[in-house]
A and B are shown apart, each in its own frame.
Chain A
Amino acid sequence: MKAKKVLAALLAVTVVMGLNGCSSGLQGAADAEAPKQQDERQTADAAQTEEPKKDDEEVTLTLSVDSDETLDGLQAVCDKAKEVLGITVELDIYTAGTDGDNIMKTRLASGDMADMCVWSDSKFKSVGPDKYFMDLSGTNIPDKLDDTYREAVTYNGGVYGIPVGTSMCGAILYNRDLYEKYNLEVPKTWDEFLKNCQVIKDGGDTAVLGTFADSWTAQVLFLGDYYNVSAKDPEFYKNFEAGTAKYANTPAAMRSFQKFEDLKDYYNSDYMATIYDDGCEILAEGNAAHWIMLTQALSNIYSLYDKETVDKIGVFGIPDEDPDNQGITVWTPSTIFGNKNSDKTDDILRFMEFYISEQGLDAYCSAQMADGPFLVKGYESASDGYRAVEEDMQAYFDAGKTEVDMQSQVQVVGSDLPAICVEVATGQIDGKAAAEKYDADCYKAAVQLNLDWKE
């Protein structure tokens, strides 16, 4: 009997101790102190492996990058960096989209971040970048960055990142062959665009390609229409951030949602099951006339086919009422951030400086063509680009008819936007209801960011 009692007591003690270990581990991870621990661990590691550390010593940096990024250019810069700087960069791929954002936030909070990471400039402000990312404002990097881009990666006076690639546009990609077949002109207004769609539909082809199985693709019409919003109401983004202007009570902004209503009848029949990758093929093979998409698709199509196929695709900005003021909405590329709590910050800085140097960007261009202009001052790619970029997009840039995507100008970004766009695109709700829904969605984000918004 006694033996049993002792055994039971022992068991209990073991379990308790085991659990204690567990819970303290969990607490440690949740603590903000964790980066320090991580630091210490890394320092210990470093001390073991790289005892006599010199500048010309070989260094290995880790870089987390999301799976939607086209890696050819990035990889080329990394290879070049290894050759020139002796810095080996190991890529570590994380899943794209909201799940990926969550991974990034968790890794940051738990001090488990790689030396560098590629993330969106519209997301990094929400985590309080001064705690996690290297401030580059003391270096000569900010002077080299394009003004709009620098604005997008600035937080409380600090400049936090460098562009991983080129800018791109959210616009309407169209198949030039089909436009020739139906003898169509590039539309200058939304009504002309709808007329073109009708002609194509009557001819038996798919007028507008929907790839809503990847719901983020549905947002591009809404976000890409921002040039028109800002043309009619230039102060909208400021008032929106201040909580005074809403989508539902600003007609110019609500119009972006209402454009979905007009397109309801023109989509391919399997638009809810088609994914982004399918979309690239469908457009390239001329099975759809229009695709409202980011111009990064050009690079995807190029890597699937060849330059000749890509050059069959043209680009125009999402049109509105005024034929004389057709512009295009520009996206800043993803950003490379440096981990402030890494023990290799000097090397990270060296790598970043190299990345945006002429040598680095030339390496980038040797592997990947530009989806739009570079955001580094004074750099022009020597190699030739896609026809859609050099002819169609460049015209907008030359005429000054560009506007930067609103999501990189404001802090408040509603998380349900893709689903709301799909909902209005499939005709479940109308544009006004979608605008109201998005306002409510943004209110949640504003509360989370501690902004003083009224409902």
Chain B
Amino acid sequence: MDKKKLYSFWFLTPALLMFTIFFLIPTVTSLYFSMTVWNIDGAKFCGLNNFKMFFQEDSLNVGIRNTLLYAVLTSILKLVPAFFLAVFLTSKIRTKNILRSVLFFPSLLSLIAIGIMFKAMMHPSKGVINKALAVFGITGIDWLGNTKIAMFSVIGVAIWEGLCIATMMFIASIQAIDQNYYEAAEIDGANWWQKLRYVTMPQTISARNSIIILAFIDGIRSFELIWSMTGGGPGFATDVLSSIVYKQYAAGYYGLSTAGNVIMLILISCLAYPLQTWLLKREEN
């Protein structure tokens, strides 16, 4: 019995060490540093003042609202198109391999590159989107400069970018469905829609849940796309939690930004964990 125990322990050690050094220790020390006024000379303890200051931040309300909006919309809105794309790409079409590669292309690009690209395309007077609209006689809008629209423009790009991974997950899940279900359904006289609704959809629930969870967590800590497209602007209109934390860090308020990170950690855990348990429970039922 000892042998078995020792065996697994030794194999656990390297991973555990990595985890301790790179995750546990930084997490614990960040708790301390979040309670200091910290500059490049050293850190001075200041109690919970940083947390107080962070919560008094004017742009924080906008930041939390935008973060949740971004996380919820990017995780929900890509489900439907991704699902139908996956159904289409698993059906019997000739060009499906090429189409799958094309679809996967955006995820090969870095988010910063995508952001810069779309920022240029969304330029109100020189951008290709508004120029294309002008051909049809539609006056384009200021996609990133209009404070009411900017956030949704960024979310739209995020959905476009996230669509490929979501579709791939759906494809994998659809391909794993046992053909017997479809045969049985056909024998019962099910039409295309009924097969989709009563076989494909229930069988891909776990993929759907993974997509939601992953996209939600990604959305809450999203940064690159927003930073490269708007820098949190105009003003503070598209600030999210991580861009607020970044700006504080860049300003040299290291203690304050660490406090922001601790708050983000708590917030992500508080939102993601219940969401996951809730979705898993529904999956089991």
Residues of A within 8 A of B (CB): 1, 4-5, 8-9, 11-12, 15-16, 19, 23, 32, 98-99, 101-102, 105-106, 108-109, 126-128, 131, 212, 215, 269-273, 415-416, 419-420, 422-424, 426, 428-429, 437, 440, 444-445, 447-448, 450
Contact = CB atoms under 8 A, between A and B. Distances in A.
Contact of A19 (B17, B145, B248): B17
Indicate the member of A270, A272, A447 with the most B CB atoms within 10 Å: A272
Interface string B121-135: 011111100000000
A16 B17 contact: yes
A445 B256 CA distance: 11
B178 interface: no
B53 interface: yes
B130 to A, nearest CB: 10
Contact of B18 (A19, A271, A273, A428): A19
Contacts of A99: 250
Contacts of A440: 56-58
Interface size class of B (residues with CB under 8 A): 35 or more
A428 B37 contact: no
A106 B250 CA distance: 10
Interface string B202-245: 00000000000000000000000000000111111100000000
A273 B235 contact: no
Contact of A422 (B58, B233, B256): B233
Interface stretch (B6-14, B80-88, B90-98, B180-188): B6-14
A428 B53 CA distance: 23
B280 interface: no
Contacts of B53: 444, 447
B239 to A, nearest CB: 8
A422 B13 contact: no
A128 B142 CA distance: 44
Given A11-B14, A98-B247, 4 more contacts: A8-B11, A416-B59, A423-B237, A428-B234
Contact of A448 (B39, B57, B146, B235): B39
B40 interface: yes
B253 A422 contact: no
Contacts of A9: 10
B252 A102 contact: yes
A419 B232 contact: yes
B234 A444 contact: no
Contacts of B39: 126-127, 448
Nearest to B237: A428
Nearest to A4: B7
Contacts of A422: 233-235
Contacts of B126: 270, 273
A190 B35 CA distance: 47
Given A98-B251, A416-B247, A419-B236, A450 B40 contact: no
A8 B40 contact: no
